[in-house]
Amino acid sequence: MSADPSGARAIRATDDDRTAVITALDSALASGQLDQFEHYERVRAATSARDVDELRPLFADLQGVRVRLHGDAGPTSALSPTGGVTSRWSAPESRRRRPWGALAGALVVAALLTGAFVAFSASDDPDPAGREVTSVDRPGRDGQGEARVLDAPAPLSPEGLERIFSSAGRASGSELATSLVVHPEHAVLAWTDPEHPSRTLRQIYRGGWSGWADSPSTREQPFRLADLDATVIAPVVAGAAETLGIAGETDAFLSVAADDAGRPSYTVHVRNDVHQTGFLVVDYAGEPVRITPPG
C-alpha cells in the first residue's frame, strides 16, 4: 500500500469510489458547473485514479455534491442538503456481485498498451453480465501450454461500441437507459431505478461492467437499449473530426440520449490538441440533425 507525503497510508480506490465521483461529475455537468470537456478530463482522471486521495480534487470545487469515499467518516452514502448526488449504494440483492481476483498480468499488459487503467469485476454466475472480454487461444511458449489472450476492443471502435451496446441491458437488468456516454477508455450507463423511480443508477464499463452509484432522478426520457446500433454510429464517430473540420491530434467522446420520440439520439464531441472543439448530432438512423464546427 502506498503512502502520501505525510506518511499516512493511502487507501486504494474501488470501482464504487470511481463511479461515485463520476456520478458527481455528471451532476456538475448537468447543472452547468462543468463544460463537456472539463467533464471529460475529470471523468478520465477518475477512471485512472489508483488511490482515494486522487479522486477528492476532482469534485472538491463543485457545489451541491457530497461524495463519501472509502476511508471517510460517517455513512457511506448521503444526500447533500441541496439535493446533490448520492455517493454510493448497495446494489439490490439480485444484482450484487462478488468480484474475482484481479487478472494482474493481463491487466498490466492492457494498461501499458492503451494508457488506461483497466479493471474487471464479475460474479460467480456461469455467464456474468459484467464480463465482456473475448479470449483467444494461442499457442504458448514451450512447456507453458496454450495461452489465452484477452480481446478488449477500444470502446469507441466499431467492435467496442457493439460490445457496449449489446451488453448494457444484461449489466443493468433494464431494457431502458436515460444516458450512455462512451469515452476512449470507458463508458458510463445511466438508467432509472425501476423499483424507485426517484433515483438514477449508474455503472461503468472498462472492458466489462462494474461499480455502482446512484443520484436523484433527472426524469429524463429513456430510450430502448435494443435500439442502439453500432453500425450506424461507429462510422459517424470515425469521421467526426473530418466532418467538423478539426485537424491535428483529436480526442472524441459519444453521448446518447433520447429524442422526442424516445429513440436514441447520438452526439459526438471532438477536441484537438490546440483546444478547438465542436460537436455533431445524428438521429437514430445516422442522419444529421446538427453540425457545430469550432466557432
User: DSSP string spanning 22-49?
Assistant: HHHHHHHHHTTSS-HHHHHHHHHHHHH-
pLDDT of the residue at 148: 84
Distance CA(210)–CA(131), nearest Å, equals: 9
Distances (CA, A) of 124 to 90, 101, 130, 253: 18, 12, 11, 32
pLDDT of the residue at 195: 92
Distance CA(204)–CA(77), nearest Å, equals: 18
Residues in the chain predicted with pLDDT less than 70, given as ranges, are 1-8, 73-144
Selection from 64, 9, 55, 5 nearest residue 33 by Cα:
64
Parse the chain into domains and list their residue ranges: 15-87, 94-152+159-216, 229-292
- Grid coordinates representing 149 are 489472450
* Phi, psi (rounded to 5 degrees) for 149: -105, 125
pLDDT of the residue at 276: 92
Global pTM reads: 0.65
C-alpha count within 13 angstroms, C-beta hemisphere, residue 67: 27
pLDDT of the residue at 127: 38
